[in-house]
Structure 1
Amino acid sequence: MIDATVELTIDGQALSVPAGTTVLAAARQLGIDIPTLCHDPELTNPGSCRLCVVEIEVATAGGMMKMRNLPPSCVTAVSPGMVVRTGTEAVVEARRTVLELLLANHPKDCLRCERTGRCKLQTYAYEYGADFPLPGSALDGERRHDPLDDGNPFIRRDMNKCVLCGKCVRVCAEVQGRHVLDYVKRGFATTVGPAFERPLGESDCVFCGSCVALCPTGALVDKTKAGKGRPWDVRRKVRTTCPYCGTGCNFDLEVVGRPGAGEPGREEVIGVASASDGPVNGRHLCVKGRFGLSFIHHPDRLRRPLVKKEGRFVETSWEEAIALVAERFQAIRADHGGDAFGVLASAKATNEDNYLINRFARAVLGTNNIDHCARLCHASTVAGLAAAFGSGAMTNPIGDIAKSDFLLVIGSNTTESHPVLAQKLLQAIGRGTPCVVIDPRQTELAAAATNHLAIRPGGDLALLNALAHVIIAEGLSNQAFIEERTEGFAELQAAVADCTPEWAAPIAGIAPEVIRETARRYAKAERASIFYTMGITQKRTGSHNVMAIANLALLTGHIGKEGSGVNPLRGQNNVQGACDMGALPNVFPGYQPVTDPAVRAKFAGAWGVASADLAEQPGFTVGEMLEAARSGSLKAMLIVGENPVLSDPDSSHVVEALQQLECLVAVDIFLSETAQLAHVVLPACTFAEKEGTFTNTERRVQRVRQAIEPIGESRPDWRIMADLAAALGRPFDLEDPAAVMAEIARLTPSYGGVSHERIDRDGGLCWPCLSPEHPGTPRLHVDRFTRGKGRFHGVHYLPPAEATDGDYPLVLSTGRRLFHYHTGTMSRRTGLETIYPEEHLEMHPGDAAACGLVDGDWVCLSTRRGAIALPVRLTESILAGTVFTSFHFAEAAVNKLTIGVVDPVAKIPELKVCACRVERVEPPEGYRPPAGKRALV
């Protein structure tokens, strides 16, 4: 039997470590530095570089015996009584020899190498006195002359500087799960590269940059930082949270001074450095987080307020702009009252920003007409999960993916929408965890999964009810859990009694036996997790779809424990926080209802207004605001960081509505398609220019920290709201975002223990965090549901609102692309545009043949609401009868075509399903396909 712990001595220091620990890990526990090139704590150990060699004596029956040669410490396990010496003359000489062998085939360009100062080979050569071989010496021989791979915008590959440590190969395979890189050729000619030695830009690389982060030399460098500063030029690194998707990755912004560049003396964010202690992502990022931040300094940034005069924008001062907005708002309020206003908050802004936008709408303008983009993505999650569990949020932390025995992913293109979270899913699949992906497209995750169920668009509720039917009919439900912790089971049982797999099969397009097997695997797993996004929510049955998912968790007891739960993945960086902060028409911060007199009295007292000043009834959703604007009853809108002209359905009507307003004020970092329609545009700061917090998809509240001074005269959103409030006679008297969070904590029970000071000290906190001593709640509903008992709901299948016919025979669905984000205002002002410069329409080859189309043809995509033109890309990864494109590109504004029919509960539009047709057209005059464009299909 192996002892649980092993005692040994390293450099005269005794210690005890768990059996199986490597000598390297044991030495590091003592603070003893052993050099390594190929080792990484997250990856498998090849023991190939031999730089970590040590002298070891091991206990034998005859006494102590020195191990032959010098074993590598990274792959040598400790043994009882082992004596290790890490710095003997033989060890030092062996390490020096290894370094000199590496330098013998290394370029002599350290003075101009981008890695200088961060190159481990350089550092170790200095420490051990190793140098390039002298001319004519035994080591002065042939050198490699591999071509430079410099044809992509992000990563420069110079394999002449590669030491064959293999970290890039292993991180790509073991962490990213993509296997893009491997060893090529043999012997002296061995190098590392993509298959068939193609350039990186022509491979399947997704440019996550993990290989760059781990490379110990200048073989892989970040091109976006090239020429902007050496390590010693970086004035500071500022830890912050990514401004893209809701995963909530942390990284350090690297700031250098750039005298004479643009604005004299201006500091510049030159890029990011990932850190191993990021609570969600560790060192790993996606292409947007690592390489997509150059929008911060883009020349298109709004730098001064703009006022539209005679149809044209002119720059003005903040004083004039604020005074003009206040004058117009006061006049409209005097003539029409508070409900003549509509406010759109922002999922891209901080919690503190959104809280003050909420306070401005309710306490200054006197309206509950406040909403934001959650209405277009997860409003049905908030409604459906709140009805079932009492809380409309992700129930389990991202780390629980590794603890699941079964993964069910439905309506989520996770690898493109949440790439770092998808790593966790791919890693689990790689370890053998069964995973079923339900999606009309064979996404990357679907291709890697145990099973891909290619569901017909709109068949989700039929399938979910059929899964519930099987679990009940086959006695697979957790009766003890149902009896102890739920209510309404009889209602569900009656609702799904006739929802057999045979009934669901023609609706969902999935064979009955496959439905049965999926239900069995989910129900029989000890710990099963469900993940979903907008493929579930953006339907007229979105709330019922979410309730049906909750039914499955309640039936099986896969809720309230690790490795399980119902996990809606939030699409934008702070869409969870914007909801938490009351950027919804029916609730104050913390989901406290506006209809409750006691709640109104609490907020009125804190905000220095009378309870009567706060509207009693829920306000308009974004869709209702736009309808009211079209009809003339809504007179003014304040839109902060939202772009409904591209993001909302039937967007031609959105433009008509906004043009009817007497006063439209836009707060943004760029002149978006929506801001172009405004009467006044106020320049906001990016995340890099302000303080605050974001709340990620797992309810983790994390810090956003200011790295640079605001660009031009831009201001953070919270200050813009404070300035407007003061101009309208109701000042906020909050001096900074930390004070705003303190007010949030006083008024919002779930954030009661959250403060900037505490997050700075302890790291992110998952709400509910009820007091300064509360540890936060990574996992919801452990002992009881927020509402008391979990509630089953009998929900019934409804077909999509719009059916196909002879004129519109195909189904259009929309979604996201890996290389872009939302309406492209940020991502299309970075190098990401080079990799993915235009949009296309995915179409099945069979459908294309029926339309007389070939790959690359330009087509007119039309619905009953309009038409757009774009090139077509043929792929068998999409279900026949359906077509797909994204909403990132204004040139192919697909939301001109989508339908405005909404879920009656959550008022979310049915963006995922509408009838369409596709016809060949001539490409635009002078059009040439972008060079190197990827068709990621």
Structure 2
Amino acid sequence: MITLKINDRAVEVEEGSTILQAAKKIGVFIPTFCFDDLERMPAKHCSNCSEYGDCKICSCEVEGEVSLLTACNTEAREGMVVWTESEEVKKARIGILNRMIATHPLDCMNCRKLGACKLQKYCEMYGVKEAQYVVPYEHREKDTSNRFYYQEMDKCIRCGKCVRTCRELVGINALAMAQRGAVAYVVPNGGDTMAETACVSCGNCVSVCPVGALMPKSLHEFREWETQKVRTTCAYCGVGCQIDFSVKDGVIVDAKPANGPSNQGLLCVKGKFAYEFINHEDRLKYPMIRRNGKLERVSWEEALDFVAEKILKIKKEFGPDAIAGFSSARTVNEDSYLFQKFIRAAVGTNNVDHCARLCHSSTVAGLAATLGSGAMTNCIAEIKDADVIFITGSNTTETHPVMGMYVRQAHRMGKKIIVADPVRIPLAEIADIYLQINPGSSVALSNGMLHVIFEEGLEDKEYIEKYTEGIEELREIVKKYTPEKTAEICGVDKDLIIQAARLYASTHKSYIAYAMGITQHVNGTDNVSSLSNLALVTGNIGKKGSGVNPLRGQNNVQGACDMGALPTDYPAYQKVFNPEVQEKFEKAWGVKLSPNKGYTVTETIPAILEDKVKLLYIMGENPMVSDPDSNHVKHALEKAFVVVQDIFPNETTEYADVVLPSKAFAEKDGTFTNTERRVQRIRKAASVKGECKDDWWTIMEVMNRIGYPCHYDTVEDVFNEMRTVTPSYAGITYEKIEKEGVQWPCPTLEHPGTPILHVNGPGRGRGLLKALDWIPSPDTCNPEYPIVLTSCRILYHYHTRTQTDKTPGIHFTAPRNWIEIDPSDAKDLGIQGGDWVKVSSPRGSVYVEARIADTLRPGVAWMPFHYAGGANVLSDSEHLDPVSKIPGFKQIGVKIEKVDGKKAKELTEKARNREIEYYDREDPISTAYREHTAENLTGSVQAQ
């Protein structure tokens, strides 16, 4: 520690601290423009002062120095005496501000940044009202080419903060500084406009800009002082980013990244800009019952009575197992807890599941069996602490963009990256080793790497001896997975497999991150277990910067699983067929419970068609798009009595007998649990639309009507009941997570939470090493369907688009479906980019536009899964993982045929008309949005 004086006040700081950090410690204000307040840049100090020379607003006087020093990057020294507001300092700051406003239009009253502009604030503070001299500069037109924000660079003060954020935090380099004469300018890097750069529209440059040079294209007019701030958790992917909503008159008008533990002040395009769905005119606003084929508005009383009467009638005639429920990974923990209690305690069956069955059920099964917990072992931000990052089956920058930013940051820090994926994802471009494996060959790759690790003695023998079982069986089975055989199965060079094995095993800080490219296979559980084998054999478990880390796709997949929205599990994965557990919940809930395993999502649809299930209650899911074999799902929904509880009409509500409107996440309170097991608050920000209700309230009302009396006054009441039966959440309270979330397990109120699992060995006692063989997918063994189609998520959409497509910028960026084909396959099939093609599997056909790209290998194609009438028309619901019952979304056998002539013209016209219809709607879309014509859009139409 060292001691210095600032404005005659002594302060003690750690050696290496800057003057600015020392001043902050004692509450001394020093103005800044280019300095990152969260200090997230890889370099400890702000380099802009020397790099661009146009900031230096933080300059201070230090006794003994001949000139002023910048506080943001000058190290404090023992005995240093600093003055932050001396006459010389004030004079310097006035000069700096004068220089800035000399090239800055002084139309503050017309600027949307009015009241939140640092330049305005500092000019007022130092009495600067107009420039004292002229600085020559180059006038530039406003750049509105980006669909989400605009650049008005005449207002730029050239602090360089946006450039550093894009380069060092986001890792994209879409902005640069260009010196033109005596003035440095921020310019698009790689084109004349932002639309021509590699910009991913994350808006982090907008969030850090201290003036009005970068501003969102908001649909709402507001000034900062007219709004109130509400801290909440993002409702998109599983990263769980913290957001500050700006709210005016009950309407969300802006979103800014907050400094949460998992996002560290960063957001992606969806978190930053895609909140328009909350205010959208298409929201469900009142209950409806289908009469004479049409949904008609009714009162809440009538709708709830109707649902309850139908449940009681079916239960009486066919028994409770004739009823099933799909809970949601999009709503809060409290809703999922009460939903599974409703199905179990009030209805009397374990037929409850949710969409984790379709994304990470194989994770829950695989990691629970091998480690004792089916959850992410480490923290999201720890990926930057790893020495080696192994990413497989995850297009991280598209599906978990903020975590993708961390990977790029790690790369800048010199960390080693291995990527294994059938698609050449963006992170493959910076990977030290890229393995473009065949779809479905992950078990073989893990076994091949283990073969090398054992052959070269790279395993952690001490860890294996102390903490694992099954080592001999594993050694034996991987003997046959030589680099040569593994290379043949995976379709990659054997030397790359050897290099990957050596690199991964070279440290105890190797971090595995994976997603649905691993899990969504008919051998998904084996894929997950094989990654667990790698971590256990090398001792990469229970340590910072290591572990096996599944990335959940939706915002509350982890929470919905934790809450027991699973057919075999009560909350906290307590098994329904365990007599002691059953007795515990019977006592807690005051009712006799079924000990029988319920139907999974993928078993419920066939059960409806077999007349075993008569009523399906769906809360916050859209199975007509998300589930495999859409035609199969359609027939089931047509047959069953269907209740849908949601925020928008969607492809599933078209088959609903009753529709109940729900509040969106920003209209309610509660908790989400992100992919790193962190339980975080969401808070009511927006006013409620129409007659929408909390999901927990609706479920409570139905429970009371079918004879199970219960009462909760608030969502916190539900949470507190859940804690009493959920050991891993027992020590978590709303008060405890008010400022920052807590990671489970947190068994007591005194417990701080658990950032890293398995620190003292795997939770099951010893880690289970599973001897696994690679098995090819049956869906890709049919020569009639020679192309392997893999479905993917894209950056600009979320799940089934019911939320994201309501934001115009996102709709115009990705309005409809497509298929990406390898150039050699396209040549063989006579297909060019932009052609319409017919894609067929044994389950059906779809028509889409073709894109040709060299990101694939011959024989492989990919298609986004977000669109109705798309990839899931083709996917297989018959062949499932035998353990988790997950379908093989990532390996679909298809054939592709070019569509010519009249049919292609018809499809083009249908697609164009749909987009013109959306484009011409009377929504208050800004002029900048309307500049994008329908002819620039791309899309998909389901085969008739």
For the aligned pair, the TM-score class normalised by the smaller chain equals over 0.9
- Counterpart of 2:47, as a letter, is N
- Equivalence for 2:272: 290
Match of 1:789 among 766, 769, 779: 766
Provide the residue aligned with 1:117 in structure 2.
115
2:309 and 2:354 mapped to 1: Cα distance? 25
Trace 1:476-625 onto structure 2 (pairs within 5 A).
476-609=458-591, 611=592, 614-625=593-604
Report the residue type matching 1:735 in the other structure: D
Does structure 2 conserve the Cα–Cα contact (< 8 Å) formed by 1:409 and 1:532? yes
| Contact 1:182–1:195 (8 Å) recurs in 2 | yes
CA deviations on 1:260-291 (whole Å, 9 max, x unpaired) are: xxxxxxx2111212223x12112210000010
Q: Equivalent residue of 2:252, what SS?
A: strand
**Aligned to 2:149, which of 146, 151, 155?**
155
Instruction: Find the counterpart in structure 2 of residue 859 from structure 1.
Output: 837
Q: Deviations over 1:59-82 (max 9, x none)?
A: xxxxxx3x2232222222223322
Equivalent residue letter for 1:629:
I
Write the deviation string for residues 278-329 of structure 1: whole angstroms up to 9, x where unpaired: 1211221000001001100111100000110000111111000001111111
Structure 1 residue 543 displacement after superposition: 0.6
In structure 2, the partner of 1:460 is 442
Query: In structure 1, which of residues 210, 214, 220 is the aligned counterpart of residue 208 of structure 2?
Result: 214
Q: Does 1:205 align with 2:199?
A: yes
Counterpart of 1:263 in structure 2 is: none
Deviates further, 582-591 or 804-813: 804-813
Identical amino acids, percent of aligned pairs = 44
Note if 1:274 corresponds to 2:267.
no
Q: Specify the SS of the correspondent of 2:231.
A: strand
Partners of 2:786 and 2:488 in 1: CA distance: 18
Q: CA offset at residue 459 of structure 1?
A: 1.2
Compute the displacement of 1:428 (Å).
0.7
From 668, 682, 703, the counterpart of 1:725: 703
Deviation at 1:804, TM superposition (A): 5.1
The residue type equivalent to 1:549 in the other structure is L
Question: What are the equivalent positions in structure 2 for 1:677-826 lying under 5 Å apart?
Answer: 677-760=655-738, 763-803=740-780, 806-826=783-803
Mapped contact 2:667–2:684 kept (Cα < 8 A): yes
SS at match of 2:780: coil
Q: Does 1:167 align with 2:161?
A: yes
What does 1:342-361 correspond to in 2, within 5 Å? 342-361=324-343
CA contact (8 A) 1:902 1:910 kept: yes
Aligned residue in 2 for 1:429: 411
Q: How big is each residue's C-alpha offset from its partner over 1:798-856, in whole Å with a ceiling of 9 and x where there is no partner?
A: 00112355532211000100000001110111131122222221111111111111111
- CA change 1:684–1:226 in 2 (3 A) is closer
Amino acid corresponding to residue 690 of structure 2 in structure 1? G
Distance 1:660 1:813, change over 3 A: same
1-structure distance, mates of 2:489, 2:181: 58
Question: Could you give the per-residue CA deviations for residues 731-772 of structure 1, whole angstroms, max 9, x where no partner exists?
Answer: 222221111111111101111111112211x52111111011
Q: Is the 8 A contact 2:572 2:727 kept in 1?
A: yes
Paired AA for residue 774 in structure 2: Y
Mapped partners of 1:221, 1:409: distance in 2:
34
Partner of 2:647 in structure 1?
669
Task: Choose 731-740 or 166-175, whichever is displaced more.
Answer: 731-740
Gaps of 5+ in 1: 58-64, 258-266
By how many angstroms is 1:512 displaced? 1.7
Query: Counterparts of 1:701 and 1:803 in 2: how far apart (Å)?
Result: 40
> Residues 784, 143 of structure 1: CA spacing in aligned structure 2 closer, same or farther, 3 A cutoff?
closer
| Aligned: 1:243 with 2:213 | no
For the pair 1:71 / 2:58, whether they are aligned, the reply is no
User: Structure 1 stretch 816-825 or stretch 26-35: which is displaced more?
Assistant: 26-35
> Which secondary structure does the structure 2 equivalent of 1:802 belong to?
helix
Secondary structure at 1:295's aligned position in 2? helix
* Pick aligned residue for 2:82 from 78, 81, 84: 84
Cα offset, 1:471, TM superposition: 1.3
Tell me the CA shift for residue 144 of structure 1: 4.0
Aligned residues: 901
Measure the CA separation in 2 of the matches of 1:528 and 1:284.
24
Letter in structure 2 aligned against 1:815: C
TM-score normalised per structure 1? 0.94
Q: Which residue of 1 aligns with 2:883?
A: 905
Name the structure 2 match of 1:830: 807
C-alpha separation between the residues in 2 aligned to 1:45 and 1:443?
31
Q: Which residue of structure 2 aligns with residue 450 of structure 1? A: 432
Detail structure 1 runs of 4+ shifted over 6 Å in the superposition.
none
- The residue that corresponds to 1:62 in the other structure is none
Please state if 1:17 is matched with 2:13: yes
Partner Cα separation in structure 2 for residue 466 and residue 602 of structure 1: 45
Is it true that 1:54 corresponds to 2:60 in the alignment? yes
Query: Per-residue displacement from partner, 1:516-551 (whole Å, max 9, x unpaired)?
Result: 111111112131111111111111111111111111
The Cα offsets for residues 465-485 of structure 1, whole Å up to 9 and x where unpaired, read as 111122122211111111111
Cα deviations across residues 330-380 of structure 1 (Å, max 9, x unaligned)? 110110010000100000011100000000000111110111111101111
Q: Which amino acid aligns with 1:237?
A: K
Moved more, 895-904 or 183-192: 183-192
Measured after TM superposition, the shift of residue 152 of structure 1 is 3.0
Report if aligned partners of 2:418, 2:432 keep a CA contact under 8 Å in 1: yes
Matches within 5 A, 1:303-318: 303-318=285-300
Of 827, 832, 840 in structure 1, the residue corresponding to residue 818 of structure 2 is: 840
| Structure 2 CA distance for aligned equivalents of residues 796 and 567 of structure 1 | 22
Establish whether residue 635 from structure 1 lines up as the match of residue 614 from structure 2.
Answer: yes
Q: Deviations over 1:572-614 (max 9, x none)?
A: 00000000111110011111111112211211222121x3xx1
Cα distance between partner residues in 1 of 2:181 and 2:219? 33
CA contact (8 A) 1:305 1:321 kept: yes
Check the 8 A contact 1:469/1:497 in 2, yes or no.
Answer: yes
CA distance in 2, matches of 1:144, 1:635: 71
Report the counterpart of residue 192 of structure 1 in structure 2. 186
Letter in 2 for 1:102: M
Aligned to 2:23: 27
| Matched position secondary structure for 1:493 | helix
1:630·1:658 contact (CA, 8 Å) conserved in 2?
Answer: no
Q: What is the rounded CA distance, in whole Å, between the counterparts of 1:639 and 1:767 in structure 2?
A: 28
SS where residue 602 of structure 2 aligns? helix
Q: Is the Cα–Cα contact under 8 Å of residues 343 and 370 in structure 1 kept in the other structure?
A: yes
Q: Deviations over 1:202-234 (max 9, x none)?
A: 32111111111110100011222651x101110
**What amino acid is the match of 1:97?**
G
Taking the aligned partners of 1:565 and 1:625, their CA distance within structure 2 comes to 34
The alpha-carbon distance between structure 1 residues 793 and 185, as it changes in their structure 2 partners (threshold 3 A), is same
2:553 counterpart SS class:
coil
- 1:804, 1:811 within 8 Å by CA — same for their partners in 2? no
**CA shift for structure 1 position 692:** 0.8
- Read off the aligned partner of 1:734 and give its amino acid letter: Y
SS in 2 for 1:759: coil
Q: CA deviation at 1:680?
A: 0.1
Q: Which of 238, 246, 257 lines up with 1:254 in the alignment?
A: 246
Q: CA deviation at 1:185?
A: 4.8
- 1:309-388 equivalences in 2 (<5 Å): 309-388=291-370
Q: Secondary structure at the match of 1:211?
A: helix
Q: Which amino acid aligns with 2:324?
A: G
Cα 1:286–1:536 change in 2 (3 A) is same
> Deviations 1:474-514 (Å, cap 9, x if unpaired)?
21111111111111112212222211111111110122221
In structure 2, the residue corresponding to 1:314 is in which secondary structure?
strand
TM superposition shift of 1:154: 1.5
2:209 is the alignment partner of 1:230? no
Separation in 1, partners of 2:181, 2:56: 17
| Structure 1 residue matching 2:103: 3-state secondary structure | coil
- CA drift of 1:919 comes to 1.4
CA distance in 1, matches of 2:657, 2:552: 32
**CA distance in 2 between partners of 1:394 and 1:19 (Å):** 36
Per-residue deviation at 1:142? 5.2
Deviates more, 1:37-46 or 1:703-712: 37-46
